[in-house]
Structure formats: structure tokens, C-alpha cells
Amino acid sequence: MNRACREVEGFAELLRRFERNISILGRSVKTFDNYSRHVAAMALHFKMLPTELDPEQVKDYLFELQQRSKTPSQSYFKHSVYGLRFLLKTEGLPYDFLHLPSIPIQKKLPVILSREEIWRMLKSADLLKHKLVIGLIYGCGLRCMELRNIELSHLDFDRKMLHIVQAKGKKDRYVPLSEHLIRGLQTFIKIENPTQYLFNGNRNSQEIETKDFDSRYSQRGVQWVIKTVCKKAKIAKDVHTHTLRHSYATHLLEDGVPIIMVQKLLGHERIESTMEYLHCCQLSQQNPHSPLDTVFAICSKNGNPK
């Protein structure tokens, strides 16, 4: 985006209006970041503002996106269309010619880690911070952004609850905190002495001096922890940050937590999203809890992770 602002006349002002309009309409910062990257790519391609392109130029560009590889990213193509459509709409320009073609949805079951694999990850993480990252994502079923947004005020150790504030869909929810996590968190807070966010990232001096400075642990940093620990734990599965959330939901259902409760714990708006995990487990009846406690109960015979 910075390059487009430098090289395309008027793009910086267009981007400021786009950010303002998206905010006024109640869309998230993530939506703006996603759409603006695609709009910037189009501006750099033509060396002119996307709002000045005629429909044929836009169609040629979208066609080129599809032809760049034999298996083009449908997500990239889709968000290019969505981003430009939203930009034109907020600028009061015609956008009816931007019809998104039918994109087949591939139905794949999520990768699920076993409890033993979760245990191996916890044992393989050398730093307490990394153990807590894994423990919170799995033990509370967090999305990556939800982990990064945890503030000290969101931790209720007395009630053993984590308050997840303004998550996806701008919704709050509470999830149980494992006693094992609470002990680790109390030790971590005492050592690191964070002031606002639980996890802080490392930023260089140039970032700190600009508006791009963000004290939170970066998304890339969280992803690096998961990948590095999985490799050390010799887990062959294709594991991503969200894999731990998938495993959280599946293990809760296997432990007998009702699916309606799992839906609430995950923050799913639609029960259909939660029902996908029924393909991976069987149901029984039990009170909600953190599945991290079950991991410790089953695996701690070999020694607690430090």
C-alpha cells in the first residue's frame, strides 16, 4: 500500500477516504487491510486509480489473475472483486458490472491433533511464553487475533474465566481457564510485568516511531511458535494456529460437552459451523471445562511440562 501511495497519484487520498468510509459502515480494520491490499495491487498494475478504470480494464485484470497459475487462488480473486466493488460503492460509482463468478466450495474436514500430540507440543516448548501461547489457543479455543488481543483485565483468575472482548462479529464471550494455565500465567505476569496486553511483540525503532507501531505479539510471531514447536515435537500433521482451535472443539465434544455449549464457547454465530466437528467425534453429557485439564490428567504421569 505504501508503494501505491508513492507511485500512483491520488491513491493516498483515495485510501484515506476508503478507510474512513469502511469505519463509518462498521467494518473491521482487518476488512480494510484486506481490501486495501487488493485495491493497491490493482492501482500499481495500471499505474492509475482503480476508480478511473473502465469495466473492460477491470475484466482484463481479473482474467489475468485467473491465468497466472493453473490453480489460481480463488480467495485472492474473490477479495479483489469484493475490494474493488466496495471501493466503487463507497465512492458513489457504478459497480454492477462486477459480478463474482460461482466459486465451488471445497468441503474438507479440519486437521485434529490428538491429546498426546497436544501434550508433546507443551513439553517441546522451551519458553514459558510459548507454552502459554499453545495452552491458551488450545485450552480456550482462541483464534489467533483473540490471543493477541488478551489484556490483563480480561483474565479473571478467581472465577477461572477468560473474557474474550469484541471478537469476530464484534461479540464478547467467556471461556473457562485451566488451573494449569492460571499458574503459568501468574508466573509469566510476575516475571514479564506486562502493562496492558498479556503478550507483547518485538518491534524495531523505525516501527515505534511510526503509526504502524503495535505493541501486541504479532500474528507472524504466533504462527512461528506453532510451526517451530510442532517441528520439535515431531508432529507430521499440517498444523496451523487454527488447528489448535479445531482440536479444542473436537476434544470438548468427545468429553461430552453439549454442542450448543461448544458453539457458545467457540463464538460461532451458526450452529452449522460447530456441527462440522461432529464428523470427528461422539457425544455424551458433561459440564463445560477447559480440555487442557484433560490433557494434564491423561498425560501427566510422564511428568508436567515445565
Cell matching residue 245: 482451535
8 Å CB contact between 265 and 288: yes
Task: Give the chain as a 3 state SS string.
Answer: CHHHHHHCCCHHHHHHHHHHHHHHCCCCHHHHHHHHHHHHHHHHHHCCCHHHCCHHHHHHHHHHHHHCCCCCCHHHHHHHHHHHHHHHHHCCCCCCCCCCCCCCCCCCCCCCCCHHHHHHHHHHCCCHHHHHHHHHHHHHCCCHHHHHCCEHHHEECCCCEEEECCCCCCCCEEEECCHHHHHHHHHHHHHHCCCCECCECCCCHHHHCCCCCCCECCHHHHHHHHHHHHHHCCCCCCCCHHHHHHHHHHHHHHCCCCHHHHHHHHCCCCHHHHHHHHHHCCCCCCCCCCHHHHHHHHHHHHCCCC
- Mind listing the pLDDT tens digit for each residue in 45-73? 999 999 999 989 998 988 888 777 544 45
Q: Which CATH class is domain 2-90?
A: mainly alpha
pLDDT at position 306 is 52
Give pairs for 111-116: CB < 8 Å, separation 24+.
111/237, 111/238, 111/239, 111/240, 111/243, 111/246, 112/243, 112/246, 112/247, 112/250, 112/280, 113/235, 113/237, 113/239, 113/243, 113/244, 113/247, 115/251, 115/291, 115/294, 115/295, 115/298, 115/299, 116/299
pLDDT at position 28 is 81
- Mind listing the pLDDT tens digit for each residue in 205-248? 444 454 555 788 999 999 999 999 999 999 999 999 999 999 99
Considering only residues 129 and 294, tell me which one the structure prediction assigns the higher pLDDT: 129
Cell matching residue 43: 492501482
- The CATH fold of domain 115-302: hpI Integrase; Chain A (1.10.443)
Give pairs for 26-34: CB < 8 Å, separation 24+.
28/170, 30/145, 34/79, 34/83
pTM exceeds cut of 0.75: no
8 Å CB contact between 103 and 78: yes
- What letter represents residue 48's amino acid? M
Task: State yes or no: pLDDT of 107 exceeds 90.
Answer: no
Task: State yes or no: pLDDT of 162 exceeds 90.
Answer: yes
Task: State yes or no: pLDDT of 265 exceeds 60.
Answer: yes
Give the domain ranges of the chain. 2-90, 115-302
Task: State yes or no: pLDDT of 266 exceeds 80.
Answer: yes
Sequence-distant (6+) residues with CB within 8 A of 128 are 184, 187, 188, 191
pLDDT at position 77 is 80
Mean of pLDDT over the chain: 87
Cell matching residue 306: 515445565
pLDDT at position 277 is 87
pLDDT at position 47 is 94
